[in-house]
Structure 1
Amino acid sequence: MSAHGLTYGPLGSSCVHLCVDMQRLFADPSPWATPWMPRVLPLIETLVERHAAQTIFTRFLPAQRPGQGVGTWKRYYDRWASMTMSELDPEMIELMPSLKRHSPPATVLDKHIYSPWFEGRLRNFLSQVRIDTLVITGGETDVCVLATVLGAIDFGYRVVLVTDALCSTSDATHDALLTVYHQRFAQQVETVEMETILSEWT
């Protein structure tokens, strides 16, 4: 741990805040509601307010209709037919209102699977603005955040995971993932609380 509270030093101009899927889709009364979201939302709001122009929001867009998708996604959307675009209120895919108001200047990138990397837009955007460090918040710790982190590691980004700004529906798998990051990915993932980010990213 450095004097800055971050293992590999302070954050600079080549850093962005990547906020994963903080959408109405995952808030009450949705069947996909993440109970921790109200707890982490104020922390994420504070970071976005300070660094709106350096924030990228991802949004998860479900399939258009039940049974659509490749391979196991067809089964997934048969199970979650009520959560397809044809059945949802269009407002459900929007960011939480307190975050949406910051875009612009924040950027919004949509995706149709857990990972934001396969469709290419995120990688292209980061390359254009010469980003090498990602401060990651959002949900869920053990699904879309996990896919985001692993892709970032593969592409060689410095990953700073904000542990008290992540939400999940499962305490057990959230805790297990944080243990994995500490024990298996320590060279590539730094785990800190929001207080450290707010004080060290100027």
Structure 2
Amino acid sequence: MATALRHGPIEASSLHVCVDMQVLFANGSPWQVPWFEKTLPRIEMIVGAHTATTIFTRFLPPNRPADAVAMWRRYYERWRCVTLERIDPGMIEIAPELAGYSPPAETIDKTVYSPWTEGRLDALLSRRPATTLIITGAETDVCVLATVLGAVDRGFRTIIASDAICSSADETHDALLKLYSTRFSEQIELATSADILANWTGRE
């Protein structure tokens, strides 16, 4: 697995996108993600060092399956137990270890895997001068994947904190790390959270 920052130091204006680190994916949830809790301290290190340049995303299920469209309606028929009419409202919130950083960290909501589809992330980034995005969060092979590919398509230098992403499936987590570091080796860099912090200039 590649860990070197081949394109050099991380500029001060870079932004950290923390994907869906919500109670909804913590232990005890129907959607619990193994390694969620072990990933949290590394993410908190990055958020704590660069709070004002962090953006949290939240994945929001519909109130009920009938409120979803097309195949999403079928999906939530399967996962009715996590619709908003069934779950504790607190489950959609950012994990308590991270929630206190917002504000100044910003939060955007989305109803699909990608934070780009509904335009909220693009709108927020249009107000920021960043050319680099650091990505952490859950899940490696679903919402993190969608976030990363959107960043690549938009031409951002894209750095994934390899030890600060997690999935509910180890096999596809490992496969995605290999994919990121091979097929996307010119556009995606993998680095540990410690390497990212050591190379990100202009710490708060």
TM-score bracket, normalised by the shorter chain, equals over 0.9
Conserved 8 A contact 1:66-1:77:
yes
With the length of structure 1 as denominator, give the TM-score of the two structures.
Answer: 0.96
Q: How many residues align?
A: 199
Residue number in structure 1 paired with 2:44:
45
How far apart are 1:14 and its partner, in Å?
A: 2.4
Per the alignment, residue 106 of structure 2 pairs with 107
What is the DSSP-based 3-state SS (H/G/I as helix, E as strand, rest coil) of the residue aligned with 1:147?
helix
Structure-2 separation of matches of 1:7 and 1:70: 42
What does residue 187 of structure 2 align with?
Answer: 188
2:16 is equivalent to residue 24 of structure 1:
no
Question: Is contact 2:4–2:190 with CA below 8 Å preserved after alignment?
Answer: no
User: What is the distance in 2 between the residues matched to 1:68 and 1:82?
Assistant: 14
CA deviation profile, 1:141-195 (whole Å, cap 9, x unmatched): 0000000001111111110001000110111000101111111101110011111
User: 2-side partners of 1:68 and 1:147: how far apart?
Assistant: 23
Shift in Å, 1:116 = 0.1
Identity %: 54
Distance in 1 separating the partners of 2:8 and 2:165: 22
Bigger Cα displacement from structure 2, 181-190 vs 60-69: 60-69
Q: Which residue of 1 aligns with 2:58?
A: 59
Partner of 1:175: 174
What SS does structure 1 have at the residue aligned with 2:67?
Answer: coil
Conservation of the 8 A alpha-carbon contact between 1:67 and 1:76: no
What SS does the aligned partner of 1:187 have?
A: coil
Q: Could you say which residue in structure 2 is the equivalent of 1:76?
A: 75
The answer (yes or no) to whether the contact 1:67–1:75 under 8 Å persists in 2 is no
> What's the Cα RMSD here?
1.2
CA shift at 1:5, angstroms?
3.9
**Equivalent residue of 2:126, what SS?**
helix
CA distance in 2, matches of 1:144, 1:57: 12
1:197 and 2:196 are equivalent in the alignment? yes
Correspondences of 1:117-156 after superposition (within 5 Å): 117-156=116-155
Matches of 1:143 and 1:122 in 2, distance apart? 17
- SS of 2:190's equivalent in the other structure is strand
CA distance in 1, matches of 2:184, 2:139: 19
- TM-score, reference length from structure 2: 0.95
Unmatched 5+ residue regions in structure 2? none
Tell me if the contact between 2:4 and 2:189 (Cα under 8 Å) persists in the aligned partners. no
Deviation readout 1:14-46 (Å, 9 max, x if unpaired)? 200100000000011100000110111000011
What is the distance in 1 between the residues matched to 2:58 and 2:22? 7
1:85 is matched by which residue type in structure 2? L
Unaligned 5+ runs, structure 1: none
Q: Which amino acid in 2 is paired with 1:49?
A: G
Q: What is the DSSP-based 3-state SS (H/G/I as helix, E as strand, rest coil) of the residue aligned with 2:65?
A: coil
Matching residue of 2:13:
14
